[in-house]
Structure 1
Amino acid sequence: MTEPTDELSAAPIDVLRSRTSEKWREYPDDVIPMFVAESDFPLAEPIARALHAAIEAGDTGYVASRTGLPDAFAGFARRHWGWDLADATVQTTADVSMGIVEILRRIDVGTGLVITPPVYPPFYMLADEAGATVVDVPLLETGALDLEGIERAFRAGSRALLLCNPHNPLGYPHDAGSLAELADLADRFDATIVSDEIHAPLTHSDARFVPWLSVSDAARRTGFALHAASKAWNIAGLKCALMIAASPRTTAVLRSLPVEVAWRTGQFGVIASIAAYTEGDAWLARAVRTIERNRHTLVRRLGTELPDVVVSEPRAGYLAWVDVSSLGLGEEPADVILRRARVALRTGSDFGPGGAGRVRVNIACDPALLEEAIDRIVVVADEVRDADRSRATS
């Protein structure tokens, strides 16, 4: 089937199989890998062009203390989200996770760091690396923040919250109203919000991303935002992220970081990120259209063929959260799906409370590959259902 011209085709399967990144090296070639957050799209041409030019010029030294990246990101944020960074402080580091840890090490988390599961599994490891105790305040069934639960945690002594916006694994961009209420809570309790916004450029056409530092004066007083081009343009291996502050207190924290935090930024990461933010809009729009197509396919097919399965339909990013507990695949359904369907998904239990019986599915792939993965999973589900019926009647 020919891809519509307004969508982005995935790289050919032989090219994907030749990649040496985690997604295409973890499992044998008979497995469809949909477990880790890498996309299957070809590298955006402006990024490839910028990297080739750097190689030809031998521009492979240390990252400079001043680059064009803050201005490039500011332009992107203004175009896409109406976010003015004129008064913000922007500093680079190797990746969002490193930025989170370095910030957490320098703020007061009180009796614990609030995390809102089910959530990106490394949040728990980052808290441990920073020496913080985790306080779980699960999301509401709707995917929204439990503001009453967060207030209770703040009253009990927690003084920081690690926000995932848009939320991974639900693909949920938190709305302006709930973010403003969270900012007021943080302001009242002298708490700090650290907002991981790495999936923001991948917000879908039927949703709106609200940057934390654009919400209110209270949000700017209380928080940090972390961004990267790594997920949207699939350049995580180049190592570059942005830490952003917009108040005297939070800016002082960024300026207190050791110089090595910025020096760990990858030179190629800076070069690629500038190209992404300044010339990558058209490529990104096509990628999002393909992801939206796959999102609709996943919801339609599972709703028709496995109606007891519940998909938390994402509105940002390319990760879908799916409740397969009704299929009778046991406590770790991802293990059964891998073994029997040869489709690798991320197991839900990794995401903390609320993850049992769930799987996370990466849909940033060729539509035909997604269809094949669904075909395989449906076959396994039917086999399990038939076996259960046979046992019940024997």
Structure 2
Amino acid sequence: MKWRTYPEDVLPLWVAEMDVPLAEPVVEAVSAALAIGDTGYPVGPVYAEAVDAFARRRWDWRVPAERTAIVPDVMLGIVEVLRLVTGPGDAVVVNPPVYPPFYWFVTHADRRIVPAPLGEDHRLDPAALEAAFREATADGRPAVYLLCSPHNPTGTVHTAEELTTVATLARAHGVRVVADEIHAPLVLPGARHVPYLSLPGGSDAFSLVSASKAWNLAGLKAALAVAGPEAAADLARMPEEVGHGPSHLGILAHAAALRDGVPWLDAVLGGLDDNRALLADLLAQHLPEVAYRQPEGTYLAWLDCRRLGLGDDPAEVLLARGRVALSSGVPFGVGGEGHVRLNLATSPEVITEAVRRMAAAVAAA
């Protein structure tokens, strides 16, 4: 998708996919399965056990297998959790600007979006959250807060203090939290991911985790839904057929990544750390009007291009005149106008060329 969506002369830095060779343990696990014809249906706790081992080492967080369920991927897992704790027409609170599929999947599931915009500093706004929670529960119906942690597209890594405030507000208003933590392994130096379910107030919440983003395994489908202790009975009601969706090879690949691919991940994080600083230097030199806060996590850069005078959708102009494909900020919702999202997970040479093309496009505008 990344390289075939646009013509060959376009430099693609849009979809969340990394330009890296696969971790060798992943290649070995999938190759071994293929060599013996192991391409059947998945079964067993191998994914949950791998997540638990990784989470213990990385975040001192335990993931009991009995409080997990295999799901096809994170977004489909979110939809299935929404079906467990809400009904048609119930509210789902999100923090725009936020990952566009949040809107698509939630509305397709016949739930309604209630926005609680991030602050200008790209951080959670407790006042906006409380107002959204009040609106979401005003009719006495169930409501969910869909938390993006770390946040896509801003790269914000929420602190323990911020998440504790979330838990307090959610409890006070009877809102259930569903945390999308797909980017959790991709926290860069200087920040630390706090699993939402590790908080004292997160016991009635859910988390969706996957190795797909951190180890570049989007084409090998699998994810894990995790319930807090008070949510275990809800997760136990998830229909058996949901677990038929993940790929067996995906589960093997993800488990190998989580179990044996940590040195590879740490090397990638080092490269991403270098790339976020490189982008800051290049923008300061060639496009100083672009506002850019270096991400604390993910491999995504959220660029404020409003001072360039390119309208609400700068990505359209940069594609047409610079032949560089970035994600338009508009589909990310409130606060996305005049912004673009750039994928940092590529070579320094590609990032350099992308900024050169962007600057040339602005000069020609």
What TM-score results when the alignment is normalised by the length of structure 1? 0.89
- Partner in structure 2 of residue 3 of structure 1: none
Instruction: Tell me how far apart the structure 2 counterparts of residues 141 and 377 of structure 1 sit (CA, whole Å).
Output: 24
Q: Residue 146 of structure 2: SS of its match in structure 1?
A: strand
Q: Residue 185 of structure 2: SS of its match in structure 1?
A: helix
The one-letter code sitting in structure 1 at the alignment partner of 2:72 is: A
Superposed, 1:96-111 pairs within 5 Å as 96-108=74-86, 111=90
Instruction: Tell me how far apart the structure 1 counterparts of residues 187 and 338 of structure 2 sit (CA, whole Å).
Output: 26
The partner residue of 1:306 within 265, 274, 287 is: 287
The partner residue of 2:50 within 63, 68, 72 is: 72
Question: Structure 1 residue 268 and structure 2 residue 249: aligned?
Answer: yes
- Partner in structure 1 of residue 20 of structure 2: 41
Contact 1:195 1:224 in 2 (8 A): yes
Question: Structure 1 residue 230 and structure 2 residue 212: aligned?
Answer: yes
Contact 2:48 2:64 in 1 (8 A): no
Question: Structure 1 residue 325 and structure 2 residue 310: aligned?
Answer: no
The one-letter code sitting in structure 1 at the alignment partner of 2:50 is: A
Question: Structure 1 residue 212 and structure 2 residue 196: aligned?
Answer: yes
Superposed, 1:1-394 pairs within 5 Å as 22-64=1-43, 66-86=44-64, 89-108=67-86, 111-158=90-137, 159-216=143-200, 218-221=201-204, 223-248=205-230, 250-384=231-365
Contact 2:49 2:65 in 1 (8 A): no
> 1:28-54 CA distances to partner (integer Å, 9 max, x unpaired)?
211111110011101111000100000
What is the number of residues matched between the two proteins?
359
Contact 1:87 1:246 in 2 (8 A): no
Q: Residue 202 of structure 1: SS of its match in structure 2?
A: coil
> How far does residue 103 in structure 1 lie from its aligned partner after superposition?
0.7
> How far does residue 308 in structure 1 lie from its aligned partner after superposition?
1.4
Q: Which runs of 5+ in 2 are unaligned?
A: 138-142
The one-letter code sitting in structure 1 at the alignment partner of 2:199 is: V
Contact 2:157 2:192 in 1 (8 A): yes
Instruction: Tell me how far apart the structure 1 counterparts of residues 364 and 105 of structure 2 sit (CA, whole Å).
Output: 40
* Bigger CA radius of gyration: 1
The one-letter code sitting in structure 2 at the alignment partner of 1:164 is: C
The one-letter code sitting in structure 2 at the alignment partner of 1:136 is: P
Instruction: Tell me how far apart the structure 2 counterparts of residues 156 and 379 of structure 1 sit (CA, whole Å).
Output: 45
Identity of aligned residues (%): 43
The one-letter code sitting in structure 2 at the alignment partner of 1:92 is: I
> How far does residue 154 in structure 1 lie from its aligned partner after superposition?
2.1
Contact 1:88 1:247 in 2 (8 A): no
Contact 1:116 1:137 in 2 (8 A): yes
Instruction: Tell me how far apart the structure 1 counterparts of residues 168 and 232 of structure 2 sit (CA, whole Å).
Output: 20
> How far does residue 83 in structure 1 lie from its aligned partner after superposition?
0.9
Contact 1:184 1:219 in 2 (8 A): no
> How far does residue 87 in structure 1 lie from its aligned partner after superposition?
7.9
What TM-score results when the alignment is normalised by the length of structure 2? 0.95
Instruction: Tell me how far apart the structure 2 counterparts of residues 151 and 142 of structure 1 sit (CA, whole Å).
Output: 18
Instruction: Tell me how far apart the structure 2 counterparts of residues 88 and 299 of structure 1 sit (CA, whole Å).
Output: 44
Contact 2:286 2:355 in 1 (8 A): no
Instruction: Tell me how far apart the structure 1 counterparts of residues 61 and 153 of structure 2 sit (CA, whole Å).
Output: 25
Q: Which runs of 5+ in 1 are unaligned?
A: 1-21, 385-394
Contact 2:212 2:222 in 1 (8 A): yes
CA RMSD of aligned residues (A): 1.4
> 1:113-145 CA distances to partner (integer Å, 9 max, x unpaired)?
111000000000111122111101100111221
Contact 2:63 2:226 in 1 (8 A): no
Q: 4+ runs of 1 displaced by more than 4 Å? A: none
Instruction: Tell me how far apart the structure 1 counterparts of residues 90 and 107 of structure 2 sit (CA, whole Å).
Output: 14
The one-letter code sitting in structure 2 at the alignment partner of 1:165 is: S
